[in-house]
Structure formats: structure tokens, C-alpha cells
Structure 1
């Protein structure tokens, strides 16, 4: 998957200042149509990878600098329409949205939701596991149409 060596997938923002890596395969892959993803992903749909949190880490700059002034690793917490709070991670230099996670104990517990477009490597989408589901289909734009063969979810699926 993506830029891999020993099943390590690497990714970054567009300017390369904020980097991450994860091991193993995603717990789930999905196309999300929710209003929050539209805003932070700047499109009608985002392709997301649900990565178990213990398998994910930022490699530069260190995650300990994520809130300090002048840091390239910035975060912002937004309340999703479902009521959960999401902590979004983005580059303070170029603005690329890289990932999000639940901001509270019971909000996306144990998962880092990665923006698949930030995985490094040419032809990366052919190497990633294809989407398994469409989330928040009530917000799907009519001209996109249903992706047949994918689980269709009104909101977040159970366990996510």
C-alpha cells in the first residue's frame, strides 16, 4: 500500500513539512460525504483510511509541537454533525489536511482517520485497498451517484 517498506506506509502534506507513517492495513477504507469532510477536504467526497492509532505516528515535526506557535503541525477541533468532536491535523505551512481523530475518549476510539490523498507515492490509489463503504450518503451529491458494491451508511458504521 502506498509508499511501503516492510508494510510501512508513509505520507505527507504537499510541501513535505508534515510527515507520518503507519504500519499494517487500514481497519476500514471509506468515501465520506459528511459536511465536515467536505469543508476540511475541500471537495464533495473524501477517501479516508481508518488506521488503528497504535500503528500511526507523525514523523516530522514531532507531535509534541502540534500546538506551539510557528509549528508546521497544527490541529483544530471541530464538532461534527453527529455530535462528536474531531481533532483535525494539518500543516501550518501549506494548509494540507492530513488526518483526524476523535477529540474525546469515546469519539473514534483507537483510530486515526487519514486523508488518503496524502499517502506518498505515484499511482498510490491503485495500491491502496479500495473503499469498502460510503458514509453519510444522505449528503452525497446527486451527480456522484451510488458506488455499487460498497456498503451504504446513513452515518458512521457501528464500531467506528
Structure 2
């Protein structure tokens, strides 16, 4: 069971099992919310992810598909813990940087998929061995 938290430590979570996928996303909203070229995300079944403490706020936007994408973040600090989307019902898109367990963090390995590569900067190389998609996976 892996555990994680927000930057201030108010929100704590845990999840069970292996992620369905490990995805680097270069979409513009991920670039903006991560403050870098992409976000690294674990695709986890919602029933395997549990908030243990703290309160979350949400913000919703329309994805490229026209469906809602909702960000779940600590009400005290701006840490986005996970994202949900109507196009990916039953999946929590968990931000890898929120993991507290260093062994889990180190053993995740690199993403197997990069999405929205059309937005990847030219100076940012593709992840070797990762599947590449110009657009998203239903966002």
C-alpha cells in the first residue's frame, strides 16, 4: 500500500495495487499546473485510492473532448493530488510527485506512455521505450 500527501501535509492518501498505466502528459493544463514540461501520472482505479485525512477542493474545466476534467487539491495548499475526467470514468489520475514512500517512488520506473506530445518542447526528448501519442487518451 503506497501513501502520499500534499505539500502542507494536511491531505494524506493511500492506494492499493499497481497502476493501470504510468503516463507523462504534455497538455497545456498539465504544463501549467506542474510548472514544467509535463506531469507524471499514475492511472489508478478510483476504488483503490483513499483519502485518509484533510479536505479537498475541486476545479473543473472542459477537456479537449468537451468532457469535464476535475482537479482535486488540498483546501489549504495548492497541491493537486489527483485528477478525474468524464472521459476516464472510474480512474484517478494521481500526481506522482505527491507520493511519500521513497521506495515506491524510486521503483515506479519511467512512464510507458507520453500523451499530448504535440505540445512537448523540441528540446525535450521523448522517453525511450514509451508509446507516443500526439493527443490525449480521452481527456
Question: Is the TM value for this pair above 0.5?
Answer: yes
Match of 1:13 in 2: 6
2: CA distance, partners of 1:157 / 1:77: 18
Runs of 4+ residues deviating >6 angstroms: none
Deviation at 1:32, TM superposition (A): 0.5
TM-score (norm. length: structure 1):
0.80
* Consecutive unaligned residues in structure 2, runs of 5 or more: none
Cα displacement (A) at 1:125: 3.2
| Matched positions, count | 139
Q: Note closer, same or farther for the CA distance 1:124–1:23 as it changes in structure 2 (3 Å cut).
A: closer
Superposed displacement of residue 117, structure 1: 0.3
Cα deviation, residue 82, structure 1: 3.2
Task: For 1:1-160, list aligned pairs within 5 A.
Answer: 8-61=1-54, 72-102=55-85, 104=86, 107-122=87-102, 124-157=104-137
For structure 1, the residue ranges without an aligned partner over 5 or more in a row are 1-7, 62-71
SS at match of 1:117: helix
Deviation at 1:60, TM superposition (A): 1.0
Distance 1:87 1:157, change over 3 A: closer
8 Å CA contact 2:2, 2:101 repeated in 1 = no
Contact kept in structure 1, 2:2 and 2:104, CA below 8 Å: no
What SS does the aligned partner of 1:40 have? helix
SS in 1 for 2:114: strand
Structure 1 pair 51/124, CA: closer, same or farther in 2 (3 Å)?
same
Q: Whole-Å Cα distance in 2 between the matches of residues 109 and 124 of structure 1?
A: 25
Of structures 1 and 2, the larger Rg is shown by 1
